[in-house]
Amino acid sequence: MSERALGAYCYHAARGFLDHLLEELPERDRLDGELLTVSGPRQRVFWTRNVWLSPLLIEFSSVREAANKLRDIQRNWAPLPARLHRRAALIAEKLPPLPRRPRPFPFAVPDTPMGAFTLLDEGLMLASPSCSNPFPNGEFDFEEDHEGPPSRAYRKLWEALLLTGKVPRPGERCLDAGAAPGGWTWAMAGLGASVLAIDRAELEPRIAAMSGVETMKGDAFALLPETLGAVDWLLSDVICYPSALLAWVERWVASGLAKNIICTIKMQGADFDRATAARFAAIPGSRVVHLWHNRHELCFIRVEGDRGLGS
Ligand SMILES: C[S@@+](CC[C@H](N)C(=O)[O-])C[C@H]1O[C@@H](n2cnc3c(N)ncnc32)[C@H](O)[C@@H]1O
């Protein structure tokens, strides 16, 4: 054997959440660092940063041969050091460099395949030429704005928009629930949307004063489609139990009045409310992912024409 398809998928855990992924995938063939290999069809799990879609076992006798074998398959390979870190780094040095510099929002996500590899022993690697995430090991950074936004939460909204391939058009109507201090509102208004920002707390005054921004103080979940009417973007970053958010989202989905929905499902304490996450994921036309810029939370996406990147 020099190269052999594995007939499995490899699931790379979201940063800091290996325990949740182990809970989601109790039956596995291998565990290499944060990478779980599970044979059979692809499993729908939430706590991944990347899924290896076509893993191969590749034998090699030298660093040079390993790099040549990978390069013969394709250009882009992200090393995932689980063991033999030094040897993996030497192989990576012989491969073409990966684009790692921070990028301004929005940017065109490269559609060239992004592979990943890890060493199992001195002469054997696990490598997948195709992965679910277009970025190396799911990692990337935006060029940050250190003056405009009042919090760094806008990066997860930008990431969700980037992965769907859709940004709001000027004048589109947006409801931003749990908006304070105003990072998401800043991002949406900056793209030209007209934003109704609601929170129990005050938005930062300079965000509230942005053109196209209207603020409201109170309980976001009291804003229902029957009273508010149609919105192009329904957003929520409210800190609440996942089930409370689900009940609100289900009302909006049933009404047909929210064209696009992006919400953060915040997990409470150390727990992972798997049953509620699964109910979100079962909403037709939606997906639930852990974004690179998410913490102990998942992102619910239901966007018309979603390109589905990162899943
Ligand atoms: C993580 S912060 C939002 C950060 C914001 N997206 C940003 O980019 O700056 C969560 C917000 O949810 C608000 N919140 C909690 N429960 C709420 C509710 N029922 N209705 C409205 N806002 C609520 C909190 O006051 C807090 O400002």
Last-in-domain residue among 81, 105, 138: 138
**Domain's final residue, options 107, 138, 169:** 138
Based on the fold, state whether residues 128 and 170 are members of the same structural domain: no
Residues 177 and 222 grouped into a single domain: yes
Residue 264 β-bridge partners: 299
Domain assignment of residue 160, yes or no = yes
Bridge partners, 35 (sequence order)? 12, 32
The answer to whether residue 143 is domain-embedded is no
Residue 108: partners with Cβ closer than 8 Å, 6 or more residues away: none
Active-site positions read: 266
- Residue whose Cα lies nearest atom 7 of ligand 1: it is 183
What is the per-residue pLDDT for 111?
A: 87
Of 101, 260, 250, residue with least CA distance to 176: 260
> How close is the Cα of 18 to the center of ligand 1, in Å?
27
Which pLDDT score, from 0 to 100, does residue 310 have? 93
CA of 280 to the centre of ligand 1 (A): 20
Q: Could you tell me if residue 159 is inside a domain? A: yes
| CB hemisphere CA count around 174 (13 angstroms) | 31
Both structure tokens of 181: 């201090």
How many C-alpha atoms does 233 have within 13 Å on its Cβ side? 31
Residues 100, 170, single domain; the answer is no
Query: Do 209 and 178 sit in the same domain of this protein?
Result: yes
Amino acid at 145: D
Same domain, 210 and 121: no
Query: Hey, whose CA ends up nearest to atom 24 of ligand 1?
Result: 178
Domain that holds residue 26: 3-138
Q: How far is the CA of 176 from the centre of ligand 1 (A)?
A: 9
- CA torsion angle 244 249 250 256 (round to 10): 160
Residue position matching structure tokens 């958010």: 245
* Total domains, the chain: 2
Q: How high is the mean pLDDT of the chain? A: 96
Whether 243 and 276 map to the same domain: the answer is yes
Same domain, 197 and 59: no
pLDDT of 287: 98
- 112, 8: one domain: yes
Contact 283, 265 (CB under 8 A): no
Answer whether residue 147 is part of any domain: no
Is the pLDDT at 146 greater than 70? The verdict is yes
Q: Find, among 306, 208, 294, the residue nearest to 14 by Cα.
A: 294
pLDDT digits (tens, 9 = 90+) for 234-261: 999 999 999 999 999 999 999 999 999 9
Calculate what percentage of the chain has a pLDDT beyond 70.
100
Q: Is the pLDDT of residue 201 over 90?
A: yes
- Residue 288 · residue 47 · CB < 8 Å: no
**Domain with 273 in it: what CATH number?**
3.40.50.150
- Specify if 169 maps to a domain: yes
* One domain for residues 58 and 195: no
Cross-strand pairs, 37:
10, 30
Residue 145 lies in a domain: no
Q: What is d(CA 281, CA 300) in angstroms, rounded to the nearest whole number?
A: 8
Same domain assignment for residues 297 and 205? yes
Domain stop point among 86, 105, 138 = 138
Candidates 103, 153, 91; CA nearest to 127 is 91
pLDDT exceeds cutoff 80 at 171: yes
205 within domain boundaries: yes
Q: Please list every protein residue whose CB sits less than 6 Å from any atom of ligand 1.
A: 151, 153-154, 177-184, 198-201, 219-221, 237-240
270 pLDDT more than 90: no
Residues 172 and 294 in one domain: yes
Mutational test site, ligand 1, from 199, 206, 216, 233, max ligand atoms within 8 Å of CB: 199
